[in-house]
Amino acid sequence: MAKRKPTARVKTGLRGAPVDSFNAMKHYFHVDVEKKERGEALKTYIKSNYSKKDAALIFQNPDYAFTMHSHFSAVAYWITLKLDVDDQVEKYREGLTEYIKELIEKGKEISERNDVPENVIRFNPHDRLNSKLNATIFEDLYKLEEEWRTDDEATFDMYSSFKNHVLPTSAVSIVLPFIEELMIDYQDAYDKKDDQIVEGYSHLTRKQIKHRLDQYKKMIDDLNRLKVIVKTTRKPRAKKPKAIDKQIARLQYKREDNEFKLASVNPVKIIGASRLYMFNTKTRALTELVSESVNGFEISGTSIKNFNPDLSRSVKLRKPDEFLKIVLGKTQRNISSEWSKLTTKTTAANGRVNADTILLKVF
Protein backbone atom coordinates (compact mmCIF):
# COMPACT_ATOMS: atom_id res chain seq x y z
CA MET A 1 0.00 0.00 0.00
CA ALA A 2 1.41 3.39 -1.05
CA LYS A 3 2.32 5.68 1.80
CA ARG A 4 0.47 8.94 2.15
CA LYS A 5 2.54 11.92 1.07
CA PRO A 6 2.97 14.48 3.88
CA THR A 7 1.32 17.83 3.32
CA ALA A 8 3.74 20.44 2.02
CA ARG A 9 4.33 23.39 4.27
CA VAL A 10 6.08 26.71 3.90
CA LYS A 11 8.76 27.51 6.45
CA THR A 12 8.84 31.12 7.57
CA GLY A 13 10.91 33.31 9.86
CA LEU A 14 14.26 31.96 11.07
CA ARG A 15 13.07 28.39 10.41
CA GLY A 16 12.91 29.15 6.69
CA ALA A 17 16.34 30.76 6.39
CA PRO A 18 18.43 29.22 3.57
CA VAL A 19 21.60 27.53 4.85
CA ASP A 20 23.32 26.67 1.56
CA SER A 21 24.38 30.20 0.60
CA PHE A 22 25.33 33.16 2.79
CA ASN A 23 24.19 35.61 0.12
CA ALA A 24 20.80 33.90 0.08
CA MET A 25 20.57 34.08 3.87
CA LYS A 26 21.61 37.74 3.86
CA HIS A 27 18.89 38.58 1.32
CA TYR A 28 16.34 36.47 3.24
CA PHE A 29 17.07 38.33 6.50
CA HIS A 30 16.67 41.68 4.72
CA VAL A 31 13.36 40.81 3.02
CA ASP A 32 11.59 37.99 4.88
CA VAL A 33 12.64 38.06 8.54
CA GLU A 34 10.72 40.33 10.90
CA LYS A 35 12.62 42.85 13.02
CA LYS A 36 11.89 41.02 16.26
CA GLU A 37 13.40 37.76 14.97
CA ARG A 38 16.42 39.60 13.54
CA GLY A 39 16.99 41.04 16.99
CA GLU A 40 16.64 37.64 18.65
CA ALA A 41 19.22 36.12 16.27
CA LEU A 42 21.76 38.84 17.06
CA LYS A 43 21.10 38.73 20.81
CA THR A 44 21.55 34.93 20.85
CA TYR A 45 24.94 35.36 19.14
CA ILE A 46 25.99 38.00 21.68
CA LYS A 47 24.98 35.82 24.66
CA SER A 48 27.04 32.92 23.29
CA ASN A 49 30.16 34.87 22.32
CA TYR A 50 30.52 37.64 24.90
CA SER A 51 30.96 37.73 28.66
CA LYS A 52 27.97 38.47 30.89
CA LYS A 53 29.48 41.85 31.74
CA ASP A 54 29.87 42.89 28.10
CA ALA A 55 26.46 41.47 27.16
CA ALA A 56 24.84 43.51 29.93
CA LEU A 57 26.40 46.67 28.49
CA ILE A 58 25.41 45.75 24.94
CA PHE A 59 21.80 45.16 25.96
CA GLN A 60 21.62 48.65 27.44
CA ASN A 61 21.19 49.83 23.84
CA PRO A 62 17.66 50.36 22.45
CA ASP A 63 15.98 47.55 20.50
CA TYR A 64 16.53 49.18 17.12
CA ALA A 65 20.29 48.70 17.56
CA PHE A 66 19.72 44.94 17.19
CA THR A 67 17.26 45.07 14.29
CA MET A 68 18.35 47.89 11.98
CA HIS A 69 21.27 46.01 10.32
CA SER A 70 19.88 42.84 8.76
CA HIS A 71 23.30 41.75 7.41
CA PHE A 72 24.74 41.68 10.95
CA SER A 73 21.82 39.54 12.13
CA ALA A 74 22.33 37.23 9.13
CA VAL A 75 26.04 36.64 9.78
CA ALA A 76 25.38 36.20 13.51
CA TYR A 77 22.76 33.53 12.75
CA TRP A 78 25.05 31.85 10.17
CA ILE A 79 27.84 31.55 12.75
CA THR A 80 25.45 30.43 15.50
CA LEU A 81 24.35 27.55 13.27
CA LYS A 82 28.03 26.62 12.78
CA LEU A 83 27.83 26.85 8.99
CA ASP A 84 30.95 27.12 6.82
CA VAL A 85 32.89 30.38 7.23
CA ASP A 86 34.50 31.53 3.95
CA ASP A 87 36.24 34.86 3.20
CA GLN A 88 32.94 36.64 2.61
CA VAL A 89 31.43 35.47 5.91
CA GLU A 90 34.66 36.36 7.73
CA LYS A 91 34.50 39.90 6.31
CA TYR A 92 30.96 40.34 7.63
CA ARG A 93 31.93 38.82 10.98
CA GLU A 94 34.72 41.39 11.33
CA GLY A 95 32.19 44.15 10.62
CA LEU A 96 29.85 42.68 13.22
CA THR A 97 32.67 42.57 15.79
CA GLU A 98 33.39 46.28 15.24
CA TYR A 99 29.70 47.11 15.50
CA ILE A 100 29.37 45.24 18.79
CA LYS A 101 32.40 47.13 20.16
CA GLU A 102 30.50 50.34 19.41
CA LEU A 103 27.44 48.95 21.23
CA ILE A 104 29.58 48.18 24.28
CA GLU A 105 30.88 51.77 24.39
CA LYS A 106 27.38 53.20 23.93
CA GLY A 107 26.12 50.79 26.60
CA LYS A 108 28.68 52.19 29.05
CA GLU A 109 27.46 55.73 28.35
CA ILE A 110 23.80 54.74 28.80
CA SER A 111 24.61 52.87 32.01
CA GLU A 112 26.37 55.91 33.45
CA ARG A 113 23.43 58.18 32.57
CA ASN A 114 20.98 55.77 34.14
CA ASP A 115 22.77 55.49 37.47
CA VAL A 116 20.12 56.51 40.02
CA PRO A 117 21.17 58.39 43.20
CA GLU A 118 20.47 56.55 46.45
CA ASN A 119 17.84 59.07 47.57
CA VAL A 120 15.66 58.43 44.51
CA ILE A 121 12.59 56.35 45.42
CA ARG A 122 11.75 53.45 43.11
CA PHE A 123 8.15 52.21 42.84
CA ASN A 124 7.40 48.54 42.32
CA PRO A 125 4.44 47.45 40.11
CA HIS A 126 2.13 47.02 43.12
CA ASP A 127 2.85 50.57 44.30
CA ARG A 128 2.26 51.96 40.82
CA LEU A 129 -1.08 50.15 40.58
CA ASN A 130 -2.20 51.48 43.96
CA SER A 131 -1.22 54.97 42.88
CA LYS A 132 -3.27 54.64 39.71
CA LEU A 133 -6.29 53.30 41.64
CA ASN A 134 -6.13 56.21 44.06
CA ALA A 135 -6.23 58.60 41.10
CA THR A 136 -9.05 56.76 39.27
CA ILE A 137 -11.51 54.30 40.87
CA PHE A 138 -11.09 55.40 44.48
CA GLU A 139 -11.35 59.05 43.44
CA ASP A 140 -14.58 58.19 41.56
CA LEU A 141 -15.99 56.51 44.68
CA TYR A 142 -15.20 59.52 46.87
CA LYS A 143 -16.95 61.73 44.32
CA LEU A 144 -19.96 59.39 44.47
CA GLU A 145 -20.14 59.85 48.26
CA GLU A 146 -20.11 63.63 47.69
CA GLU A 147 -22.87 63.33 45.07
CA TRP A 148 -25.07 61.37 47.47
CA ARG A 149 -25.16 64.42 49.75
CA THR A 150 -27.15 66.34 47.12
CA ASP A 151 -28.56 63.56 44.96
CA ASP A 152 -30.07 60.51 46.68
CA GLU A 153 -30.40 58.69 43.35
CA ALA A 154 -26.79 59.07 42.11
CA THR A 155 -25.37 55.85 40.62
CA PHE A 156 -21.96 54.50 39.59
CA ASP A 157 -21.01 52.03 36.83
CA MET A 158 -17.97 50.12 38.12
CA TYR A 159 -17.63 48.02 34.95
CA SER A 160 -17.46 51.05 32.63
CA SER A 161 -15.14 52.90 35.00
CA PHE A 162 -12.68 49.98 34.96
CA LYS A 163 -12.71 49.95 31.16
CA ASN A 164 -12.40 53.73 30.80
CA HIS A 165 -9.40 53.85 33.14
CA VAL A 166 -7.82 50.82 31.37
CA LEU A 167 -7.19 49.02 34.64
CA PRO A 168 -5.66 45.52 34.74
CA THR A 169 -7.49 42.52 36.17
CA SER A 170 -5.12 42.49 39.14
CA ALA A 171 -6.81 45.72 40.28
CA VAL A 172 -10.02 43.77 41.03
CA SER A 173 -8.37 42.06 44.03
CA ILE A 174 -7.61 45.52 45.50
CA VAL A 175 -10.92 47.25 44.78
CA LEU A 176 -13.20 44.33 45.73
CA PRO A 177 -12.33 44.14 49.48
CA PHE A 178 -12.55 47.94 49.68
CA ILE A 179 -16.14 47.89 48.33
CA GLU A 180 -17.10 44.88 50.49
CA GLU A 181 -15.99 46.73 53.62
CA LEU A 182 -18.04 49.80 52.72
CA MET A 183 -21.05 47.60 52.03
CA ILE A 184 -20.79 45.81 55.40
CA ASP A 185 -21.24 49.09 57.28
CA TYR A 186 -24.31 50.05 55.25
CA GLN A 187 -25.70 46.51 55.66
CA ASP A 188 -25.24 46.61 59.45
CA ALA A 189 -26.91 50.04 59.55
CA TYR A 190 -29.83 48.81 57.44
CA ASP A 191 -30.23 45.62 59.54
CA LYS A 192 -29.66 47.60 62.78
CA LYS A 193 -27.06 45.10 64.01
CA ASP A 194 -24.70 47.61 65.61
CA ASP A 195 -25.92 50.53 67.70
CA GLN A 196 -22.84 52.64 67.01
CA ILE A 197 -23.15 52.16 63.22
CA VAL A 198 -26.91 52.84 63.36
CA GLU A 199 -26.16 56.08 65.18
CA GLY A 200 -23.42 56.96 62.70
CA TYR A 201 -25.83 56.61 59.77
CA SER A 202 -28.83 58.15 61.56
CA HIS A 203 -28.71 61.15 59.21
CA LEU A 204 -29.81 58.83 56.36
CA THR A 205 -33.28 57.38 55.75
CA ARG A 206 -33.71 53.63 55.23
CA LYS A 207 -34.44 54.35 51.56
CA GLN A 208 -31.14 56.21 51.17
CA ILE A 209 -29.20 53.41 52.89
CA LYS A 210 -30.96 50.81 50.73
CA HIS A 211 -30.03 52.70 47.53
CA ARG A 212 -26.37 52.94 48.51
CA LEU A 213 -26.34 49.30 49.56
CA ASP A 214 -27.77 48.28 46.19
CA GLN A 215 -25.12 50.36 44.38
CA TYR A 216 -22.31 48.60 46.22
CA LYS A 217 -23.82 45.20 45.46
CA LYS A 218 -23.90 46.09 41.76
CA MET A 219 -20.26 47.18 41.96
CA ILE A 220 -19.31 43.81 43.47
CA ASP A 221 -21.22 42.01 40.71
CA ASP A 222 -19.36 44.09 38.10
CA LEU A 223 -16.00 43.29 39.67
CA ASN A 224 -16.74 39.56 39.73
CA ARG A 225 -17.93 39.78 36.13
CA LEU A 226 -14.67 41.46 35.13
CA LYS A 227 -12.69 38.55 36.59
CA VAL A 228 -14.76 36.01 34.66
CA ILE A 229 -14.63 37.93 31.37
CA VAL A 230 -10.85 38.20 31.48
CA LYS A 231 -10.52 34.45 32.11
CA THR A 232 -12.78 33.55 29.19
CA THR A 233 -11.29 36.03 26.71
CA ARG A 234 -7.63 35.57 27.59
CA LYS A 235 -5.80 34.10 24.63
CA PRO A 236 -3.97 30.85 25.34
CA ARG A 237 -0.27 31.32 24.97
CA ALA A 238 0.87 29.76 21.73
CA LYS A 239 3.80 27.42 22.08
CA LYS A 240 6.75 29.10 20.44
CA PRO A 241 9.02 26.79 18.43
CA LYS A 242 12.41 26.47 20.07
CA ALA A 243 15.19 28.37 18.29
CA ILE A 244 17.12 26.25 15.79
CA ASP A 245 20.50 26.84 17.42
CA LYS A 246 19.10 25.70 20.78
CA GLN A 247 17.54 22.59 19.21
CA ILE A 248 20.82 21.33 17.73
CA ALA A 249 23.03 22.39 20.67
CA ARG A 250 23.06 18.94 22.38
CA LEU A 251 22.65 16.73 19.31
CA GLN A 252 25.36 14.05 19.12
CA TYR A 253 25.89 12.61 15.62
CA LYS A 254 28.71 11.33 13.43
CA ARG A 255 29.94 14.01 11.05
CA GLU A 256 31.87 11.65 8.77
CA ASP A 257 32.60 7.93 8.43
CA ASN A 258 35.63 6.68 6.49
CA GLU A 259 34.60 3.01 6.40
CA PHE A 260 31.33 3.66 4.54
CA LYS A 261 32.59 6.93 2.98
CA LEU A 262 29.62 8.93 4.28
CA ALA A 263 29.16 12.44 5.64
CA SER A 264 26.22 13.86 7.60
CA VAL A 265 24.05 16.67 6.32
CA ASN A 266 23.92 19.76 8.52
CA PRO A 267 21.35 19.04 11.28
CA VAL A 268 19.88 22.50 10.67
CA LYS A 269 18.27 21.06 7.52
CA ILE A 270 16.34 18.48 9.58
CA ILE A 271 14.27 21.09 11.43
CA GLY A 272 11.03 21.66 9.52
CA ALA A 273 11.72 18.82 7.05
CA SER A 274 9.27 15.98 6.39
CA ARG A 275 11.51 12.98 5.76
CA LEU A 276 14.93 11.93 7.13
CA TYR A 277 17.20 8.95 6.46
CA MET A 278 19.78 8.03 9.13
CA PHE A 279 22.40 5.27 9.15
CA ASN A 280 24.04 3.81 12.26
CA THR A 281 27.59 2.80 11.29
CA LYS A 282 27.92 0.46 14.30
CA THR A 283 24.68 -1.52 13.96
CA ARG A 284 24.27 -0.96 10.17
CA ALA A 285 20.65 0.05 10.81
CA LEU A 286 19.01 2.37 8.28
CA THR A 287 16.17 4.49 9.67
CA GLU A 288 13.53 6.43 7.75
CA LEU A 289 11.57 9.02 9.73
CA VAL A 290 8.46 10.66 8.27
CA SER A 291 6.75 13.73 9.72
CA GLU A 292 3.21 14.87 8.99
CA SER A 293 3.38 17.71 11.49
CA VAL A 294 2.70 21.22 10.19
CA ASN A 295 6.03 22.27 11.73
CA GLY A 296 7.95 19.27 10.42
CA PHE A 297 10.72 17.70 12.49
CA GLU A 298 12.01 19.25 15.69
CA ILE A 299 15.08 18.21 17.68
CA SER A 300 15.05 17.78 21.44
CA GLY A 301 18.31 16.82 23.09
CA THR A 302 19.51 13.74 21.18
CA SER A 303 16.19 12.77 19.58
CA ILE A 304 14.18 13.70 16.50
CA LYS A 305 10.62 14.69 17.40
CA ASN A 306 7.30 15.06 15.50
CA PHE A 307 7.68 11.92 13.41
CA ASN A 308 4.80 9.58 12.65
CA PRO A 309 5.63 6.13 14.12
CA ASP A 310 3.19 4.42 11.73
CA LEU A 311 4.96 5.78 8.64
CA SER A 312 8.53 5.60 9.99
CA ARG A 313 10.67 2.46 9.96
CA SER A 314 14.12 0.93 10.48
CA VAL A 315 15.97 -2.01 8.92
CA LYS A 316 19.38 -3.66 9.34
CA LEU A 317 21.32 -3.69 6.05
CA ARG A 318 23.22 -6.83 5.04
CA LYS A 319 24.94 -5.04 2.17
CA PRO A 320 25.07 -1.40 3.30
CA ASP A 321 27.21 -0.09 0.42
CA GLU A 322 24.69 -1.16 -2.23
CA PHE A 323 21.57 0.16 -0.52
CA LEU A 324 23.14 3.41 0.73
CA LYS A 325 23.90 4.32 -2.90
CA ILE A 326 20.18 4.05 -3.61
CA VAL A 327 19.26 6.23 -0.64
CA LEU A 328 21.77 8.91 -1.62
CA GLY A 329 20.98 8.96 -5.34
CA LYS A 330 17.31 8.04 -5.77
CA THR A 331 13.90 9.55 -5.08
CA GLN A 332 11.60 8.67 -2.19
CA ARG A 333 9.54 6.42 -4.47
CA ASN A 334 12.64 4.53 -5.70
CA ILE A 335 13.94 4.10 -2.15
CA SER A 336 10.60 2.77 -0.96
CA SER A 337 10.46 0.34 -3.88
CA GLU A 338 13.95 -1.02 -3.17
CA TRP A 339 13.21 -1.17 0.57
CA SER A 340 10.30 -3.53 -0.08
CA LYS A 341 12.74 -5.97 -1.74
CA LEU A 342 14.94 -6.27 1.37
CA THR A 343 14.75 -9.67 3.08
CA THR A 344 15.68 -8.44 6.56
CA LYS A 345 12.82 -7.51 8.88
CA THR A 346 11.66 -3.89 9.04
CA THR A 347 11.11 -2.67 12.60
CA ALA A 348 9.72 0.43 14.33
CA ALA A 349 11.84 3.60 14.42
CA ASN A 350 12.58 5.43 17.67
CA GLY A 351 14.08 8.71 16.44
CA ARG A 352 17.15 8.60 18.68
CA VAL A 353 20.50 9.87 17.39
CA ASN A 354 23.92 8.97 18.83
CA ALA A 355 27.61 9.37 18.06
CA ASP A 356 27.46 6.49 15.52
CA THR A 357 24.61 8.00 13.52
CA ILE A 358 25.15 9.52 10.08
CA LEU A 359 22.41 12.00 9.10
CA LEU A 360 22.20 10.62 5.61
CA LYS A 361 19.56 12.53 3.62
CA VAL A 362 16.76 15.01 4.18
CA PHE A 363 13.66 15.73 2.12
What pLDDT score does 228 carry? Answer: 79
Same domain for 212 and 285? no
Same domain for 228 and 260? no
Using alpha carbons, select from 321, 311, 250, 307 the residue that is nearest to residue 279.
321
Least confident of 111-120, 243-252, 268-277: 111-120
Residue type, 148: W
Same domain for 277 and 318? yes
Domain that holds residue 132: 125-233
Same domain for 357 and 317? yes
Residue type, 73: S
Residue type, 352: R
Residue 343 phi, psi dihedral angles, 5° rounding: -95, -20
pLDDT, tens digit, for every residue of 308-339? 999 999 999 898 888 888 888 888 898 888 89
Residue 4 lies in a domain: no
How many domains, in total, are found in the chain?
3
Same domain for 49 and 108? yes
Which of 165, 200, 233 is at the close of a domain? 233
Same domain for 265 and 333? yes
Same domain for 272 and 343? yes
What pLDDT score does 122 carry? Answer: 62
Same domain for 229 and 249? no
What's the rounded Cα separation, in Å, for the pair 103 and 168?
36
Which of 113, 134, 161 is at the close of a domain? 113
Using alpha carbons, select from 60, 91, 64, 65 the residue that is nearest to residue 78.
91
Residue 8 lies in a domain: no
Same domain for 357 and 250? yes
Residue 238 lies in a domain: no
What pLDDT score does 287 carry? Answer: 93
pLDDT, tens digit, for every residue of 14-29? 878 888 899 988 888 8
Same domain for 250 and 351? yes
pLDDT bin (cut points 50, 70, 90) of residue 87 is very high
pLDDT bin (cut points 50, 70, 90) of residue 218 is very high
Q: What is the mean pLDDT of the chain?
A: 85
Cα separations (Å) of 3 from 6, 215, 312, 338, 356?
Answer: 9, 68, 10, 14, 29
Residue 120 lies in a domain: no
What's the rounded Cα separation, in Å, for the pair 159 and 102?
51
CB of 105 closer than 8 Å to CB of 74: no
pLDDT, tens digit, for every residue of 114-170? 765 555 556 678 888 888 888 898 888 888 888 888 888 899 998 888 888 888 888
Which of 233, 265, 297 is at the close of a domain? 233
Is a pLDDT exceeding 60 seen at residue 79? yes
In DSSP terms, 359 is beta-bridged to: 278
Same domain for 86 and 136? no
For 275-294, what is the mean pLDDT?
A: 91
